Amino acid sequence: MAKHFRSASLPALLVAGAVVLLTGCGSGSADGSGPSSGGGDGITSVTVGTSPTLTNTSLFLATQDGTFKAHKLAATPQQVTSGAQALPLLLNGQIQFTAADPLGAIKAISEKMPVKIVGQGSVNSTEAAKDSTVLVVGRGKVTSVAGLSGRTVAVNALGGLAQVAAQAAIDAKGGTSRDVRFVEMSFTQMVAAVESGKVDGAVLNEPFVSQARSAGLTDLLPVMSTSIPTVPNIVYLTSESYAMSHPEVVEAFSESIDAANAALGKDPAKIRQVAATSTTTSADVLAEIILPTFPDRPLTQQPLDTLQSLMVRYGILTSPIDLKPYILVPRP
C-alpha cells in the first residue's frame, strides 16, 4: 500500500541558500527532473549517490532482487566520495537521491540546504555485542574510560558522527570527554597509529575493528550502542524541488528502501551475499566482521532528535532546529 508523506514546505530562503553550492557544478534541470523519466513501461529511472559500504546494503539489495522494479523504479547507484560532492549533484538534479551520514544531513538542514530526508539505511544496534563501532586502545595502556583523560583518540573526521558519538559514550560511562584530545586520521592509518603509540586510541568501524582485534588491540568501549542506539548510520536525501515535483517517485523510493531493510533484518546472511558484489570487502573478512543492523520499520524523527541533542551538547549546532518539516514520514 502506498504511504502518503507528511511534510511542510520549506521557505523560499532555502533555495537561495543553495546558490553558492550550485555554482559551477555542471548542467542539470533546476527541478531535479533531468534523468528521472518514465518510459512506456511506467518505470522511472533514478540515480542514487552512494558509497560501497555495508550501511548501504539495502540500496544494493533493492536494485538486485526486483524491489525497485516492483515499485516502478530503475535505480542506478552512483559512487560519491562525500556529502560535499553529493549535495551539488543532488541540488542540480544530476542525481535524484543520495545517502548521507545523519549528522551531516542535520547540519546541511541547519545551513538552509533545501533537502528532505526520505529514508534510512542500517541503524545502530542496541546490543554492545552487535556494535560495529568501537573505541580501541593499545593492550594494557588504558584500562577504563576514565583513563582516557589527557589521552589522544583518533577519529575519521573532527566534529563528525564518530567523534560526537564517542564523546557521548565516554561521558555516559563515567569518563570526561572534554579532557580527551581528538585528532583526525583516516581509518586505514588508525590501527598502526595505536600500535606505534602515535595515538592512545581510535574510534573504528568494521572491517577495521576486526583488524584491530587481530593486531592485539583492546576494545575499550562500544560507541554507538552506548550513545546513539537506533540512530541511522545513514539516511537518504532528496532535494525539496524533486520531492515536490515527483512525490510518487519519492514515495516509491522510500517504500523500496524500507522493504529491503526489512528483508535484510529478517535474513542477515543476505548482507554478506549483497556485499560480496557491492563492496570491495573480501569474502574472508565478510565472514568474520560484525554485520550492520537493518530496521524493520520506517524512519521516525525521534532517533534524529536524539542525535541532534548531542550535536548541540558538543557544539556542532548552537541550538536545536525543528526537523519535522524536513523528514518525509507516513501519515498516521
- For residue 37, name the pLDDT band (cuts at 50, 70, 90): low
Q: Is the pLDDT of residue 9 over 50?
A: no
Between CA 258 and CA 256 the distance in angstroms is: 5
Give the model confidence (pLDDT) of 238-275 as tens digits. Answer: 999 999 999 999 999 999 999 999 999 999 999 999 99
Lowest mean pLDDT among 54-68, 173-187, 205-219, 318-332: 318-332
Q: What is the pLDDT of residue 140?
A: 86
Residue 214: the pLDDT is 94
Query: What does the pLDDT read at residue 171?
Result: 98
Q: Assess whether the previous peptide bond of 207 is cis (omega < 30° from 0).
A: yes
C-alpha 281/C-alpha 116 separation (Å) is: 31
Residue 3 has pLDDT above 90, yes or no: no
In this prediction, residue 111 carries a pLDDT of: 94
Average pLDDT, the chain: 88
- Give the model's pLDDT for residue 115: 97
Confidence of residue 38 (pLDDT cuts 50, 70, 90): low
- What's the CA dihedral at 195, 197, 199, 202 to 10 degrees? 20
Lowest mean pLDDT among 28-32, 48-52, 159-163, 228-232: 28-32
How much is the average pLDDT of 158-164? 96
Q: Is the pLDDT of residue 24 over 70?
A: no
Confidence of residue 27 (pLDDT cuts 50, 70, 90): very low
C-alpha 124/C-alpha 156 separation (Å) is 18
Task: Please list the residues that pair with 154 across neighbouring strands.
Answer: 183, 202
Looking at residue 331, what is its pLDDT? 52
Residues 199-223 have a mean pLDDT of 96
Q: Which residue has the cell 520531492?
A: 243
Specify the higher pLDDT residue, 305 or 84.
305
pLDDT at 17 over 80: no
- Segment 130-152 shows an average pLDDT of 95
pLDDT-wise least confident of 32-36, 74-78, 152-156, 298-302: 32-36
More confident residue, 280 or 98: 98
Rounded to an integer, the average pLDDT of 195-219 is 95
Tell me the torsion sign for CA atoms 38, 40, 42, 46.
negative
pLDDT, residue 39, reads: 54
User: Average of pLDDT values for 119-123?
Assistant: 96
Q: Given pLDDT bands bounded at 50, 70 and 90, which one contains residue 41? A: confident
Which of 265-291 are b and which e, b meaning 16 or more Cβ less than 10 Å from the residue's Cβ? beeeebbbebbeebbebeeeebeebbb
Using the predicted structure, report yes or no on whether residue 19 has a pLDDT greater than 80: no
Model pTM score = 0.87
- Report how far apart, in Å, the C-alpha atoms of 198 and of each of 30, 194, 207 are: 48, 6, 21
